[in-house]
C-alpha cells in the first residue's frame, strides 16, 4: 500500500499519516526525517543536502527525489509507505511518478485531507505553547485552566510566529499556488481520494481506513 498525503498546512495530514502507518505496519516517510537521518548517518546524499540546508536554501528536487527513492528501497518499505510532505509541486509529482514507473511501481492512493482556509486559520491561530516546558494548548479545543498560563509548570504561553494569522494566510496562499494543483494531477491519475478534515481526528481516520480497506 503506497500512499501520498495531501492537504493544507494545519489540515492534520501528518497526524493521519502516523495513524495509517501504525495501523497498517508501514513507515511514515517525511522529507524532514529523511534529510535528518541521512545527515546524521553521513551519507553522500545527506552531505549534499546539508550543504544546501546550511545556507538556508531549499534542497533541489532532483536530490530530494534521490533521497526518497533511496528510502523506498529499504526493507521496511516492502509492504508500502505513507509519504508526507512530498511532492509539493506538479514538477515533483511528475518526477516521482516517472521514477516509480522506471521501477515498475506506482502509488496506490493520494489522500487529500480537505479543510477550508478559515478552519485552518482558526486551528493554527489558536495554538499556544509554554515558553518554559513546551507544553501545547489551544484556546478553543484544549485551553489551559488559567488563560495564558501553562497547567504543567505555570510558565507563560505564547503564540509561535508560524501560527500568527497573517503568517498562516501567507502559507495558505503558497499552498494554493504550488500544492493544490496536485489534487487535479492525482485526480487525473485516477488515484485521488478526498476526506473531510473538519471532523474529529478519529472520524477522519475512519473515513481513510474505509478507502484503504
- Considering 71, 123, 127, 128, which one is annotated as catalytic? 127
- Considering 2, 88, 123, 128, which one is annotated as catalytic? 88
Chain length of the chain: 213
Residues with Cβ within 8 Å of residue 193, at least 6 apart in sequence: 109, 110, 111, 112, 208, 211
Please indicate whether residue 160 is annotated as part of the active site.
yes
143: helix, strand or coil: coil
14-42: b (≥16 Cβ within 10 Å) or e: bbbbebbbeeeebbbbbbeebbeebbeee
Please indicate whether residue 171 is annotated as part of the active site.
yes
Please indicate whether residue 71 is annotated as part of the active site.
no
Please indicate whether residue 36 is annotated as part of the active site.
no
- Considering 2, 13, 123, 128, which one is annotated as catalytic? 13
155-190: b (≥16 Cβ within 10 Å) or e: bebebeeebeeeebeebbeebeeebeebbebbeeee
Please state, in angstroms and as integers, the Cα–Cα distance from residue 165 to each residue in 36, 128, 145, 161, following that order: 29, 13, 24, 9
- Considering 23, 101, 146, 160, which one is annotated as catalytic? 160
Beta strand pairing call for 157-158 and 127-130? antiparallel
DSSP label at 175? I
Q: Which residues are catalytic?
A: 13, 88, 127, 160, 171
Amino acid at each position: 500500500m503506497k500512499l501520498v498525503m495531501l492537504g493544507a498546512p494545519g489540515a492534520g495530514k501528518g497526524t493521519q499519516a502516523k495513524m495509517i502507518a501504525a495501523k497498517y505496519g508501514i513507515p511514515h516517510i517525511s522529507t524532514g526525517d529523511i534529510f535528518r537521518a541521512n545527515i546524521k548517518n553521513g551519507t553522500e546524499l545527506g552531505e549534499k543536502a546539508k550543504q544546501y540546508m546550511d545556507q538556508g536554501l531549499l534542497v533541489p528536487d532532483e536530490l530530494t527525489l534521490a533521497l526518497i527513492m533511496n528510502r523506498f528501497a529499504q526493507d521496511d518499505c516492502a509492504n508500502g509507505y505513507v509519504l508526507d510532505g512530498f511532492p509539493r509541486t506538479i514538477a515533483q509529482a511528475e518526477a516521482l511518478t516517472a521514477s516509480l514507473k522506471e521501477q515498475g511501481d506506482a502509488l496506490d492512493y493520494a489522500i487529500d485531507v480537505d479543510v477550508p482556509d478559515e478552519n485552518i486559520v482558526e486551528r493554527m491561530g489558536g495554538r499556544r505553547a509554554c515558553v518554559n516546558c513546551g507544553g501545547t494548548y489551544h484556546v478553543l479545543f484544549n485551553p489551559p485552566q488559567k488563560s495564558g498560563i501553562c497547567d504543567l509548570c505555570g510558565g507563560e504561553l505564547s503564540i509561535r510566529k508560524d501560527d500568527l494569522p497573517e503568517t498562516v494566510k501567507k502559507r495558505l496562499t503558497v499552498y494554493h499556488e504550488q500544492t493544490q494543483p496536485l489534487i487535479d494531477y492525482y485526480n487525473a491519475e485516477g488515484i485521488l481520494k478526498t476526506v473531510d478534515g473538519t471532523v474529529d481526528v478519529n472520524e477522519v481516520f475512519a473515513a481513510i481506513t474505509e478507502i484503504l480497506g
